[in-house]
Structure 1
Amino acid sequence: MKITIVSALVVSATSFAPNARTGRTSTAVLDTLNGWSPDESEFAWGLPGALPPFEGGFDPLGLSTGTPLSTMKQWREAEVQHSRVAMLAALGMLVVEEPIEYHPLFEAYNKDIGPAIRHLDEVDAVSPFFLAFLTIAIGSVEWNRALRGFSKPEGSFAFQQLNDSYYPGDVGFDPLNLKPSDPEEFAAMQTKELQNGRLAMLGAAGMIAQELVDGKEIFVSLGLAADRFDPSSVPIQF
């Protein structure tokens, strides 16, 4: 869960800043954008992420209509990063709670420390210096992402402006070398990532809301696990 928390805080809210309309990108730049060629006539400038029956894009509020390329890339950057956080969060919440209860930092067989949404309270109480380390780690990862994807604040510059040569979400982290070299395979993989991430954002939000309402772990609320949590056993009381 602590890995999940780090990841969740690392990818804080981005984008949603207005910018001037950007025309088509040069061929030299397109070669670095994983085979994607911006097309203003297509939904979301032709970025992958749609599946049947929404091949033409799902946008009931019309937010993408007339949206500049630079802004669309910012939105996709935010969506991809939040999708990754949500997938880790949804999985992490289930792993650290009953009945699995795998805790990287706690001995779960000694006591049940309750819903995942309050585990950082336990970290703060047991090892407050860990939060300082957490802040440094978050800053380091975000600094690397900023250097790779965001424009330098010089000349004609807009807030959170992405580099022309930066493909949204491609932060260069691929230790297992899973990224396809073929553009079509890459687009298919990103579509899968986005679709799973969108579902995870809804799922994680639902689980967090449920735990805030009743203070119980997810499988306990579903009646699939015993409730061993004793609120008096943790430093932060509910």
Structure 2
Amino acid sequence: MKTAIIATLVGSAAAFAPSPVARVESSLSYAKELDSMAGVSNEVGGKVWDPCGLSDYVPADWARRAELSNGRSAMLATVGWFFPKIFGTFDSTDVTTTDPIDAILQSDPQWWVQFIVLCGVFESWKYNQEMSGKSFLGGAAPAVDYLKLWPEDAAKQEELKLKELKNARLAMIGIAGLVSNHLLPGSCPVPPGF
């Protein structure tokens, strides 16, 4: 009797064992291309950090441009999160809070239309600059360098690209933590009031 019960249990447990499935390789494997890009450093174990395997499905250059663009937006968002809490709000009748999420909801819809049009103008200008050989996201001379921070030396250029990428990644994690803590108080180690 005991043998029959054990055999039944082993048989039913085998039903939940994973079946061997061959990994399907995409024809768009860009991981090798990522190895030569900025961003492979100590923090990510000296290799490309791609936990979801997205480099098999999107071009490496496009993914890096998206990462830098989103990182720059996150850097601005982080400054925008702290600015009203430290310096207060501008004279305004519609936005009366220093809470960033509430401020978004209090803003007049016409402000959002103006903001979207302004972003469209900037994106159009960026596109035109890139078509003329300038760059916003690496690969060529920068389109905007008012402070003359872009070095002539290739090694220094790579160092600057790595610094920007690290700051962009940190800002994306930071703003995600601030928003998470706002929506779920106590979910992230954020000082009180932020």
Instruction: Provide the residue aligned with 2:74 in structure 1.
Output: 86
Q: Which amino acid aligns with 1:198?
A: R
Q: Which residue matches 2:102?
A: 118
Whether 1:146 aligns to 2:127 is yes
- Residues 136, 62 of structure 1: alpha-carbon distance in 2 compared, 3 angstrom cutoff: closer
- Indicate the residue corresponding to 1:57 in structure 2: 48
Q: What displacement does 1:57 show? A: 2.1
- Counterpart in the other structure of 1:33: none
Q: 1:41-62 CA deviation, whole Å, 9 max, x = no partner? A: 9550511112215223223444
Alignment partner, residue 231 of structure 1: none
TM-score (norm 2): 0.66
Partner Cα distance (2:181, 2:97) in 1: 17
Q: Secondary structure at the match of 2:42?
A: coil
Q: 1:113 to 1:60 in 2, by over 3 A?
A: closer
Q: In the alignment, residue 91 of structure 2 is paired with which amino acid? A: F
| 1:169 maps to 2:137 | yes
- 1:22-59 CA distance string (max 9 Å, x none): xxxxxxxxxxxxxxxxxx89550511112215223223
The amino acid across from 2:148 in the alignment is N
Q: Which runs of 5+ in 2 are unaligned?
A: 1-26
Where in structure 2 are the equivalents of 1:132-211 lying within 5 Å? 132-149=113-130, 169-170=137-138, 172-211=143-182
Q: Which amino acid aligns with 1:58?
A: W
Gap change, CA 1:189 and 1:122, over 3 Å in 2: same
Q: Distance in 1 between matches of 2:184 and 2:171?
A: 20
SS in 1 for 2:107: helix
- Structure with larger RCO (C-alpha < 8 A, sep 6+): 1
Regions of 4+ moved over 6 Å: none
| CA 1:92–1:203: 2 relative to 1, 3 Å | same
- In structure 1, stretches of 5+ residues that fail to align are 1-19, 22-39, 151-162, 226-238
Once the two structures are TM-superposed, the CA of residue 101 in structure 1 deviates from its matched residue by 3.2
When residues 41 and 201 of structure 1 are mapped into structure 2, their CA distance, relative to the original with a 3 A threshold, is closer
Quote the Cα distance in structure 2 between the aligned partners of 1:115 and 1:42.
43
Paired letter, 2:69: Q
Report the equivalent of 2:15.
none
1:182, distance to aligned residue in structure 2 (A): 1.5
Q: Indicate the structure (1 or 2) with the bigger Cα radius of gyration.
A: 2
Which of 38, 43, 49 does residue 48 from structure 1 map onto?
38
TM superposition shift of 1:167: 5.5
How many Å separate the matches in 1 of 2:61 and 2:91? 40
Greater helix share, 1 or 2?
A: 2
Partner of 2:17: none
1:101 equivalenced with 2:87 (yes/no): yes
How many equivalent residue pairs? 161
Q: Deviations over 1:129-163 (max 9, x none)?
A: 3333212211101112223347xxxxxxxxxxxx9
- Write the letter of the residue equivalent to 1:200: A
Q: Is the 8 A contact 1:83 1:194 kept in 2?
A: yes
